[in-house]
Amino acid sequence: MSFITGVPDTKIVAAESLHDIAVDPDFSKNRLIYFTYFAPPPGEDPGVWPIDVFYGDVWKASVSERRTMRVGEERLGRGRLSEDEKHLEDVRVLLDGVNRRIVFAPDGTMFVTGADRFRFYEPGYDGADHEITDPDILRNFTGRVVRINRDGSIPKDNPFLNQPTMLPETYSYGHRDPEGAAINPATGQLWVIEHGPLGGDEINVIKPGGNYGWPNVSYGRRYNGDPIAGTGATTKEGTEQPIYYWYPDIAPCGVMFYTGDLFPEWKGNLFVAGMYAKSLIRLVLDGNRVVAEERLLLDLGQRIRDVRQGPDGAVYLLTDDGRLLRLTPKKQ
């Protein structure tokens, strides 16, 4: 096994660490690699921190205290892979505030997903016990999908550029923890899968400017069993509905539309890596509707962290026990 040097320092705490890696669509020409990660504060060494740093010290503090804590920064970075494939060069930060999935859009822009930044506003990490009404909090601190150009600049047709109190890269908001994202090849639309709190994992089709409801709307509950936002509302005027949700949780992570020929019966299906579900979840689609669900590889008994399609049409899986698995059809 060989390692690539030059990767930025990363802080590993709770659900924060190095999250996603994606190669530029023109990698053969420019050798650019993008990555999302949680950067330690200036002057702090990289490493692994106890979970109480995030879900103990931070969550129990007041909002004013949280805003002065030097915990770390969600970040999108970019670097150029050296010709000998051993080092990242010209590493730069493209954006702060998001660090989940990276997806390249058909128009050449980039979508990046980011989790709810609960530490900067009122509720705990499992959702508010009352409705949040401040629009700037909802738009800037709940989970977001951002859209930028590959050089880090802001597309001139982003949906909120005429609202000066809103971050210009924001494409949609009101997400909780969007751990999976993929472009639907049939429509070119971005699909995002995200964790609910206690139940309420959901799939959303992303619309520019859309509000997806968190933390005022959810099909889940707070971890202590109380309703979200005090009412347990699952719908609210001005918010988008998921096209599919799970209760209880599956703890989704990676997501992939299958387009290969190796499994012709799977073409057009959506695959979800299930951690709590300990399975690969296959969803049959009819347009934007899920019409059937099948759970595969239950016999492995493993949390599945990611799913990708290889160039030969094989399906690759990453499990929590550190294995990279390759799925191909059974030989007859």
User: What are the DSSP calls for 243-312, one per residue?
Assistant: SEEESS---EEEEEE---SSSGGGTT-EEEEETTTTEEEEEEEETTEEEEEEEE-GGG---EEEEEE-TT
Which residue blocks in 33-103 are alpha helix, DSSP H? 52, 59-60, 63-66
Residue 244: is its pLDDT beyond 80? yes
Residues 296 and 300: their CA atoms lie apart, in Å, by: 9
- Between CA 182 and CA 277 the distance in angstroms is 20
Burial (Cβ within 10 Å: 0-12, 13-18, ≥19) of residue 271: buried
Q: Looking at residue 34, what is its pLDDT?
A: 98
CA distance 128 to 130: 5
| pLDDT at 332 (0 to 100) | 61
Supply the pLDDT for residue 257.
Answer: 98
The class that CATH gives domain 100-249 is mainly beta
pLDDT tier for residue 123 given thresholds of 50, 70 and 90: low
| Confidence at residue 173, expressed as pLDDT on a 0 to 100 scale | 98
Using one digit for the tens of pLDDT, what is the confidence trace for 246-277? 999 999 999 999 999 999 999 999 999 999 99
Angle at the Cα of 242 from the Cα atoms of 277 and 156, rounded to 5 degrees: 120
What's the rounded mean pLDDT across residues 47-62?
86
Higher pLDDT, 125 or 105: 105
Rg from Cα positions in the chain: 20
Q: Which of 1-10, 137-146, 184-193 shows the lowest per-residue confidence on average (mean pLDDT)?
A: 1-10
> What is the distance between the alpha carbons of residues 132 and 139, in angstroms, rounded to a whole number?
11
Domain 251-332 fold is Thrombin, subunit H (2.40.10)
Amino acid at 23: V
User: Is residue 154's pLDDT more than 70?
Assistant: yes
Q: Cα–Cα distance between 56 and 304 in angstroms, integer?
A: 27
More confident residue, 223 or 204: 204
> What is the model's pTM?
0.96
Q: What is the pLDDT of residues 189-221, one digit of tens each?
A: 999 999 999 999 999 999 999 999 999 999 999
Residues 217, 296 contacting (CB under 8 angstroms): no
The Cα angle at residue 128 between residues 116 and 138, in degrees rounded to 5: 50
Residues forming CATH 2.40.10 domain(s) in the chain = 251-332
CA dist 55 → 66, 175, 195 (Å):
12, 19, 17
Residue ranges matching CATH 2.120.10.30 in the chain: 100-249
Mean pLDDT for all residues in the chain: 95
The confidence band for 1, taking pLDDT boundaries of 50, 70 and 90, is: low
Residues 67-82: what's their mean pLDDT? 94
Query: Would the pLDDT of 37 be above 70?
Result: yes
DSSP state of 119: G
Q: Is the pLDDT of residue 291 over 90?
A: yes
